[in-house]
A and B are shown apart, each in its own frame.
Chain A
């Protein structure tokens, strides 16, 4: 399956067919989850209405990690198996992951103000998520830093793999250190510790975010592939127009 997708035309066809399903699924899930979260689910007995921030904050945090895992896996696929679409997938997913991380930080800050009395604390969970955000930005900056795009995508792929060390730190930071941030309450060995009326909108929102992630990554991958083809065609035109004037090696790098 993954090998069959190596053909860009086939990938484009498949992506074009899958994308609308993902996008509509995402719109439905997020819409339903928003309705459940804002209108149906109860207010918390301690936190009051502010608990509703959770329905965006927690799925955004999950997606920040899922997107990073996706970028790292795609990067490994590109470096090890040299799959032609792997680097494109990593590049397409990185800004989306960065956006989810930013959303997680902003909603966390908005939630922290009424609950903890402060917008920001330097505890292990918040700091490690901030580092994750900077890793995403470093990945994006490194991709764009070279005249030769191939060099940039490979360097960024190695950076993505180095940054994987941060993922377990984020996940377990609330267990390893005594932090203000509460420990995990949904993904626990003993089963989720929150009531189904809150769990359902949360899971539905997570599903919606995942579908949204898939849809946007597919659109961005198609756009990146087209940009790449446009660049190759422009290069070819330059070569045809002025073969003598073109400096040898300047186009190939």
Chain B
């Protein structure tokens, strides 16, 4: 089973590498959306430093919304999802491999881009380490919850908008604790509690996400 999951993971990564433009689009959206704020709020460094943690986390979440549709939709359309489902490896494992590939190809670039944007948004120096650590701990939950949303909306009319509608309420806790960790570090408070909560959310999503997404995929393929 592990071997099968490794194969799926390698296939996903190869696909993502050959269509590198799609990962780049997500990062580009992240950069553009974050850069709207200094232009809209005004370039005052103090204001930017104040809003930077929340802006970075919220725009990263919005950028991630763009990436969920390609988790299952292409494979669903060309029929390879059914072939994957016929393999003896469990569907939950397939979800896990897909979510891991999504994390590596969509979330990891966001984590790399976030500190650069932090510099442009005048994020105070103490905020960078908790920003990166918080994103590393929290984004697995986003990939997994996004996988649930993507599986639920397979074949839906206007699936993309619906997907965002379903996923955004569920990832609000990640945003709250992620931004709070950066704020705490800037204010000189301990960040451990927030980071622990982020890790806990990710672990919970790791347990529940593949199960729910697997059930949703089974319903989508049963038609």
Interface positions of A (Cβ within 8 A of B) = 79, 127, 131, 134-135, 137-138, 141-142, 145-148, 151-152, 154-155, 158-159, 161-163, 165, 253
Contact = CB atoms under 8 A, between A and B. Distances in A.
B212 A162 contact: yes
Interface in B21-58: none
B166 A142 contact: yes
Nearest to A154: B219
Chain B interface size range: 20 to 34
A127 B168 CA distance: 13
B1 interface: no
Contact of A146 (B157, B204, B212): B157
Contacts, number: 60
A191 B151 CA distance: 45
Contacts of A137: 165
B219 A159 contact: no
Interface in B143-167: 148, 152-153, 155-159, 162, 165-166
Given A159-B152, A162-B170, A162-B212, A145 B223 contact: no
Given A145-B159, A147-B157, A148-B223, A138 B208 contact: no
B172 interface: yes
Given A134-B169, A142-B153, A155-B153, A162 B148 contact: yes
Interface string B92-113: 0000000000000000000000
Nearest to B148: A162
Interface centre among A148, A151, A161 (most CB of B within 10 A): A151
B35 to A, nearest CB: 26
Contacts of B159: 145
Nearest to B158: A145
Contact of A159 (B166, B172, B223): B166
Nearest to A138: B166
The 5 closest A-B pairs by CB, nearest first: A145-B156, A134-B169, A154-B219, A138-B166, A155-B152
Contacts of A162: 148, 170, 208, 212
Contacts of A127: 172
A130 B53 CA distance: 23
A127 B177 CA distance: 14
A142 B152 contact: yes
B13 interface: no
B219 A141 contact: no
A158 B152 contact: yes
Contacts of A152: 156
Given A151-B155, A162-B148, A131 B169 contact: yes
Nearest to B204: A165
B223 A151 contact: yes
B169 A135 contact: yes
A141 B215 CA distance: 19
A154 B152 CA distance: 9
Interface in B110-149: 148
Contacts of B152: 142, 155, 158-159
Given A145-B156, A151-B223, A158 B212 contact: yes
B71 interface: no
Interface in B6-29: none
